[in-house]
Chains A and B, each alone.
Chain A
Amino acid sequence: MRILPAANSSRPSRGLSGSKAWRVTSKTRQAFTAWMFIAPAGVIIAIFVFWTLFESLKTSFTDDSGFGSANWVGLANYVALLSDPRFLNALANTLVYAAVVVPVSIIVALGLAVLLNRPNLPFRGFFRVAVFLPFVTSLGISSMAWWAMLNPHAGIIPAWFEVFGLSLGNGIQDPALAMLFVMIVGVWRDVGFFMVMYLGGLQSIPKELRESAQIDGASPWKSFWNITWPLLANTTMFVGIMALVFAFQAFDQIYIMTGGGPFFRTETLVLYIFSTAVERYQLGYASAISWVLVLLVFVVSLFQVGYFSKRTVQY
């Protein structure tokens, strides 16, 4: 007959080996040590991310102007957004910007990655650096250069076009074209980063799969569409989410090149938040707009994760 230990016995029973008790206590200790090392970063994130998010959410329910007391107004800021033509215009501009820049960036980045993944391409390293360089350059500074180059009356790019009898019209000052130019700068800036992501993805695909397809007589396009593209689903999901976040945060080049003009034609949500908070000191209202943007990015990202998760293929 074996005497089994009582369920809640505090003494380690004879039935438990000494080494198992040691492992349980040791694991707890290791976990605690790990938490201690994470704690400093956790505290900083808690203060500068979670606390500021919480404060921003709280502010969005007030009429805070940075001066005097901030009074609770409930959902008034959010309700006001629904009938604010400038908010609706900024939202529309942001969605249009994202709808164009995201797919274009992904397609261009993937194309460049496929091209620059060829082992025998001359100056491959140079081209990779050249494409990636805009991403690590200050967008504010490069936007000033773009603004000067695209100036319709003195810019070098319109001048070059005019030599060939082509006209860029009023360029960044033209309400019909201004958004196109800020989109071009947005794509130019981000495509290098996405290309690097895709290069990593391409290099993780086993060569044998493509070689087998080649032996079986598949064309390069069929090989790409049926093997490479599905195996890049994870990378595309990541790139897609990042591209969307970047697009929804578009600010720098728009602020510098057009200031949101002409007459708000290029004003995005982030620019409107900036104008409302920093120029008009309506902190409560600006916080409400910010939270609408957060929810928008969250919902769209969830959709993207769901879409791409179902399309992951493994051979």
Chain B
Amino acid sequence: MTAQRRTRRWRVAAIGLAAGLVLPLAACAGPAQQPQASGPTHITFWNWYQGSDGPTVEALVKKFNESQSKVVVDMTIMPKDTMIQKLLPAYASGDGPTLIAVGHEMTTQYITKKVVQPIDDFYGEGKLDKAVLPKATIEATTYDGKIYGAPMSSAPLMLYYNKTLFAKAGIANPPTTLTELAEDAKKITVYKEGENTTNVYGIGQGMFSGIHSWTAYFRNDGGGYVSEDRKTSILDSPENIKILNYWTDLFRNHHISPIGISVPDAQALFAAGRAGMVIDGPWGAGNYAKSGVDFGVAAFPKGSVTQTTMIVGTPILVAAGISDAQREASLEFLKFWNSPESQTTWAVKSGYPPTRSDIPMADLSANPVPEMFTKAVGAESHMRGVVNFQTILDDVVNPAIQKVMNGQGTAEEVLPEASKQLQALLG
């Protein structure tokens, strides 16, 4: 081999090695760090408003960005499951968003992991007004005496009922008690074995993959999942066993609802006019109206002990470790979001009740839904302060209820074992 050829081979090999190393490493490199220029302060905001309320959120954020030149909110809307999975890894890698809107019951998880910071100083004169903002949100985001969240939306779960199916069953008014709900559901149900795609059910009661409404069934009849101090599981209480047996009999033997359906399935059944009732929030109203359902909204029925309903709120939390400028920018955005003008737009366009209690109902007359959702009774955040709330629901409570409803064990057999698992998750 000539010296020339040897040299050429070495050059080719060296170039190949260099390219092979540099190109993949360049692909792995993160975005180039831009020097911080003077200009507006950018803050990132993640939430999961993907439904019919999404465009209203986008329009309001755009309005905020265009209305001033000091702050730019870079918002990312993604599916709830995706956001929950991405959040903690993002914060662990130092790449988490400045603001997040998460469910009430999830806030404790992020507070205890110290990825969000207290914002008591965001409340006060000229800032956020506690007196007009939802107490449930402030309570749900208070931990160790410090407030960590500001309201983005807050709405109770209510009972949607199909007026046409009610009239067909000869029922004049929606149920006001759980016993009436059961009786009305039986009257509405038209069930034939083996005809699942055409049956009509008294209620579409979802068991997973969405807002968990079972807590209200248990609490209103004297049951519940955890003690008031959130330290002890009460899942296997005699009251819970009785309540679960009662509803299991109605589901299995009277077929008032399909067994084992997801919350979206339950909503779809109601939208299709095949369920007489569904427990849902204001976000469902637009879809049901579009589907042509003649619906009404009533308070979640009273039980033998009390009347409560789950409040579904997404407070906005502020990330820990951000700069002072970003903190100031966050406050500006939160003030804008909770201003009377923004909340009027939000309520009219989305159907959510406004976060402020000082907005006259007359200003919301263009959309009747927000007023319906101000009539809830006993709205509370049932599982506030419980750190592993979502895991408790997904891994313990939902499977236990489904097991009993599917006849894979009685409540007496299943709930004690589930209670031990819940206790282990409470720590």
Number of A-B residue pairs, CB cutoff 8 Å, is 106
Additional 17 contacts, C-beta under 8 A, given A41-B20, A153-B261, A279-B391: A29-B6, A33-B9, A33-B13, A36-B14, A36-B17, A39-B17, A40-B17, A44-B20, A66-B92, A152-B197, A153-B274, A154-B265, A162-B194, A167-B196, A175-B408, A263-B403, A264-B399
| 21 interchain pairs, CB-CB under 8 A | A36-B17, A37-B16, A44-B24, A66-B89, A151-B265, A152-B196, A152-B258, A153-B196, A153-B258, A154-B197, A154-B272, A162-B194, A166-B194, A167-B193, A170-B196, A170-B258, A173-B259, A174-B406, A259-B208, A261-B399, A279-B84
Complex-state Cα separation, A64 to B359, whole angstroms: 48
Task: Please name all residues of chain A whose beta carbon is closer than 8 Å to the beta carbon of B294 when the two chains form the complex.
Answer: none
Are B16 and A40 in touch, CB under 8 angstroms?
A: yes
Residue in B14, B260, B391, B398 whose CB lies within 8 Å of A173: B260
Contacts of A158 in B (CB 8 A): 196-197
A278 within 8 A of B: yes
Mark interface residues in B83-124 (1 if CB within 8 Å of A CB, else 0): 011001100100000000000000000000100000000000
* A238 interface residue (CB < 8 Å to B): no
Interface residues on A, range: 35 or more
Which residue numbers of B lie inside 8 Å of A, CB to CB?
Answer: 1, 6, 9-10, 13-14, 16-17, 19-21, 24, 84-85, 88-89, 92, 113, 193-199, 208-209, 258-261, 265, 268-269, 272, 274, 390-391, 394-395, 398-400, 402-403, 406, 408
How many angstroms between the C-alpha atoms of A104 and B203 in the bound complex?
A: 40
Q: Which residue of A lies closest to B14 (CB)?
A: A36
DSSP class of B's interface residues: helix, strand, loop or mixed?
helix
Which A residue sits closest to B417, measured CB to CB? Answer: A85
Judge whether B402 and A43 touch: CB under 8 Å: no
Residues of A within 8 A of B272 (CB): 154
Question: Chain A residues with Cβ under 8 A from B268's Cβ?
Answer: 154
Which A positions have Cβ atoms within 8 angstroms of B? 26, 29, 32-33, 36-37, 39-41, 43-44, 66-67, 151-155, 158-159, 162, 165-170, 173-175, 259, 261-264, 275, 278-281
Return chain A residues, CB-CB under 8 Å to B260.
170, 173-174, 261-262
Given contacts A153-B265, A165-B194, contact A263 B408 (CB under 8 A): yes
Q: Which residues of B contact A278 (CB under 8 A)?
A: 85
A168 to B390, CA, bound (A): 31
State the 9 A-B residue pairs at the shortest beta-carbon distance, nearest first. A40-B20, A167-B194, A263-B399, A173-B260, A36-B13, A159-B197, A66-B92, A152-B196, A263-B403
State the Cβ distance, A146 to closest chain B Cβ, in Å: 15
Residues of B within 8 A of A40 (CB): 16-17, 19-21, 24
Central interface residue in B13, B208, B268, by most chain A CB within 10 Å: B13
